[in-house]
Each structure stands twice: as structure tokens, then as C-alpha cells.
Amino acid sequence: MSQKLSELIDLLKGHRVYIQTHNFPDPDAIASAYGLQVLLGKFRINTVICHHGSVERAMTANMVSEFQIDMTADSELKYMTSEDYIITVDSQKGNANILDLIGNEVAVIDHHPVFCVVDDYKYRDIRIVGSCSTIIADYYRQYKIEMPGSVATALLYGLKCDTRDFTRGVTQLDVDIYSYLFPKADNRLIRHFQSGEIEYHELNSFVDSMRNIEVYDGVAFAFLNFYCTDAFIATISDFILNVDVVNFSVVYTRRDDGFKFSVRSEIEELNAGLIISEALANVGSGGGHKSMAGGYASESKILDISIDYNKVIQNLFLSIIDKIPHKGYTAKKRNEAEEITVKSTEPEKNDTENA
């Protein structure tokens, strides 16, 4: 066993341990938590997988059901105390997309860039790779730990989902892990899970969302003026990149007291995570990878700038993007955009998941 894995095992022994995903967990978060739970079980460390928010997509729920993954909602955590240990997977303490539970977050395993610096982890494994599933699978591979077929299938599915079938954010480690997992996984099941990416009841919403797209020099904005899940926002953001005149997409919808964002980029120079972090710095928070990111903005702070929130949001992003030269792009004056002044406020927690 490696020194790093032995450190985690030693840290957790003798404690009640929870594995916490980000809110409204997606396939990568669930697969990572499941794979880690099975791995720790081999060292007689029992764990509980916990989360806040529902499993939103049918394809994700199908995986949970197929492998009988036991997931506990935060509302059902009756016995967690401040003495219990929490491992966060596919997210990091301090982000707005992960509920702050009463337990002690002692460890993090994640593949996202660090936007909120936390110094009190006792174990940290953050690698900028295509998926968190990649990191969990690498534990099995490096330390020659036997992997059940269900774990291999879940991890491969999580890897394929977060890299969108190896079209974004792929590293050499992701490729190596794919080769490791492929012969162990049930690819028939993965095809079955993937077939539910768009659900029947969402078809009208999907069409409606296409009617609200505005494009400026390859940057597309779509306001979804209806209730939709975080996962659906991300699906629309991915889809818009298929439009021939679009290379950067910003999709957003209302929440109770603000706006939820999903951002995608297929241009190397336009780093989605950095752009949304800077664009929302004074009205909310955001972050993520170069090609995919998420965020949240306060409605009151947006409306403090102007009641035309769509124009405010467009200007927040375009004012950043216009400063970044990239191939095939020329910044030009947008006559229809009002000049804005963003009030400086204390930064909020970062929201990088369900991007």
C-alpha cells in the first residue's frame, strides 16, 4: 500500500466516517463516493454516503438503483456529530455547492481547481484531471486492489460523463484509467445509463430554451425562464456548443434568491472557470474547469446594477471575455449594452459543481 493511501486509512480508523458528495450529485460524484466506500470497506472502515438535494437525472438514478448504492440525504443524518469524520468527494469545503454539515471535514478527494483555500484538511488529494472517478480508480490500479465489476462500471460511467465521452478536460491519466476500467466494466449497462440524458418530460423545455439564445461573437447566452434542475441547465449549456457559431456558452435560470449558471468553453484561451469566477466575483461566486464551470449570483446584487438582469449578466461576462484575445475573435463595441458599474462586495462561497 502506498504511503498516501495508508495515511488516509490511518486517519479514518476508529472514527465514524461519512463520504459527502456535492449537492444534487451527478454520476461522477456518486461513482466516486461508491468506489471509495467499497475501497475503504476492504480495510474494515465502514462509511455512509451522504448528500444534500435529490438525484435529479433518471440516468443517474438508474445507476444508483442498479448497483444498490445506499445514499443518505442530509435530512436523514440523525446521528452525525462534530466528532465524526467527513471525506468530501468531487467537491471541496467552502464551495457553495456543498452543504456544511456538522461533522469534521478532514479529507478531500477532488479534481477541480482550488478556488477556496482550506488549510485544515488532514488528507488532501486534489488532481486536475477529467473526473473524480479517475482518482478513485487510480487508487485501485496503483495499489492493486481488487475491483468489483459494479465499481468499475460506475467509475467508467462517471469518467465518461464528466469528460463528455472524452471530448473535454481529458488528461493522460484519464486515458490510462479508461484502459484499466474498460475490460472490467459492463459497457452494455453504461450505454443503458447514457440513453436517458434527455428525459421525455423535458422536451418542451428543451425547445423553449432554444428560443432564448443570444449570440455575440461566438458567446451564447440562454436564459431559461422556467424551473429546471441544475443537471438540465448543464445539458443545455453542453448542447448549445453544437451550434456552428458558438464556442462559449452561458446558460442560467432563476433560483429563489438568485441565478444559477452553467458555462462551457471549447476555446483554449477562454477558461470557463476563471471567466465565471471573475465575472461573478462581486455579485456571487463561480469556478470550475477550463472547459466547464458553474456559479451562482445574488438576484439583489444583480438588480442593484440594473433591472435588466439579462443585460447585466451579458455585460458581466462580455466585459471579461472582450479582454481576452483568441483565434477568430475580435472584440467589438456592443451598442445595445448599457455601461455598468459593479459594486464591490465581500466574496461569497464558490459554486463550481453541477456546472
Tell me, what's the pLDDT at 333? 36
Q: What is the pTM of this model?
A: 0.76
pLDDT tens-digit profile of 78-101? 889 999 999 999 998 877 788 889
Residue 334 reports pLDDT greater than 50: no
CB 250 within 8 A of CB 343: no
pLDDT tens-digit profile of 33-69? 999 999 999 999 999 999 998 887 777 888 999 999 9
Tell me, what's the pLDDT at 350? 55
CB 59 within 8 A of CB 193: yes
Residue 340 reports pLDDT greater than 70: no
193-200: long-range contacts, CB 8 A cutoff, minimum separation 24: 193/27, 193/59, 193/60, 193/62, 193/63, 193/66, 193/157, 194/59, 194/157, 194/160, 195/59, 196/57, 196/58, 196/59, 196/62, 197/57, 197/59, 197/235, 198/235, 199/57, 199/58
Q: What is the CA radius of gyration of the chain?
A: 20
Quote the mean pLDDT of the chain.
87
Residue 216 has which C-alpha cell?
455575440
Q: Is residue 119 very low, low, confident or very high in pLDDT (cuts 50, 70, 90)?
A: confident
Instruction: Determine the Cα–Cα distance for residues 179 and 315; give it in Å rounded to an integer.
Output: 44
Q: Is residue 348 very low, low, confident or very high in pLDDT (cuts 50, 70, 90)?
A: low
Q: Which of 162-171, 240-249, 262-271, 318-327 has the lowest mean pLDDT?
A: 318-327
- DSSP structure class, residue 342: P
Residue 200 reports pLDDT greater than 80: no
Domains parsed from the chain with CATH numbers: 3-194 (3.90.1640.10), 203-321 (3.10.310.30)
The residues with which 260 forms a beta bridge, in sequence order, are 253, 296
The pairing of beta strand 284-288 with beta strand 104-110:
unpaired
DSSP string over 84-147: SEEEEESS-TTBTTS---SSEEEEEEE-SPPSS-----SEEEE--SS-HHHHHHHHHHHTT---
Q: Which residue has 451550434 as its cell numbers?
A: 243
Tell me, what's the pLDDT at 1? 44
Q: Which of 4-18, 112-126, 130-144, 244-258 has the lowest mean pLDDT?
A: 112-126
Question: In angstroms, what CA-CA distances link 240 with 168, 225, 248, 259, 340?
Answer: 15, 16, 9, 19, 27
Tell me, what's the pLDDT at 332? 39
Tell me, what's the pLDDT at 256? 84
Tell me, what's the pLDDT at 355? 62
In a 13 Å sphere around the CA of 56, the CA atoms on its Cβ side amount to 20
Instruction: Determine the Cα–Cα distance for residues 143 and 5; give it in Å rounded to an integer.
Output: 9
What proportion of the chain, given as a percentage, has pLDDT over 70? Answer: 89
Q: Is residue 335 very low, low, confident or very high in pLDDT (cuts 50, 70, 90)?
A: very low
Residues 192-210 as b or e (16 or more Cβ within 10 Å = b):
ebeeeebbeebeebeeebe
- Cα dihedral across residues 283, 288, 292, 296: positive or negative: negative
Tell me, what's the pLDDT at 18? 97
What proportion of the chain, given as a percentage, has pLDDT over 90? Answer: 63
Tell me, what's the pLDDT at 215? 94
Instruction: Determine the Cα–Cα distance for residues 114 and 154; give it in Å rounded to an integer.
Output: 25
- Cα dihedral across residues 323, 327, 331, 337: positive or negative: negative
pLDDT tens-digit profile of 214-248? 999 999 999 998 888 888 898 899 999 989 899 99
Question: In angstroms, what CA-CA distances link 85 with 14, 16, 62, 106, 276?
Answer: 10, 6, 29, 6, 32
Instruction: Determine the Cα–Cα distance for residues 243 and 221; give it in Å rounded to an integer.
Output: 12
Q: Is residue 189 very low, low, confident or very high in pLDDT (cuts 50, 70, 90)?
A: very high
Residue 250 has which C-alpha cell?
452561458
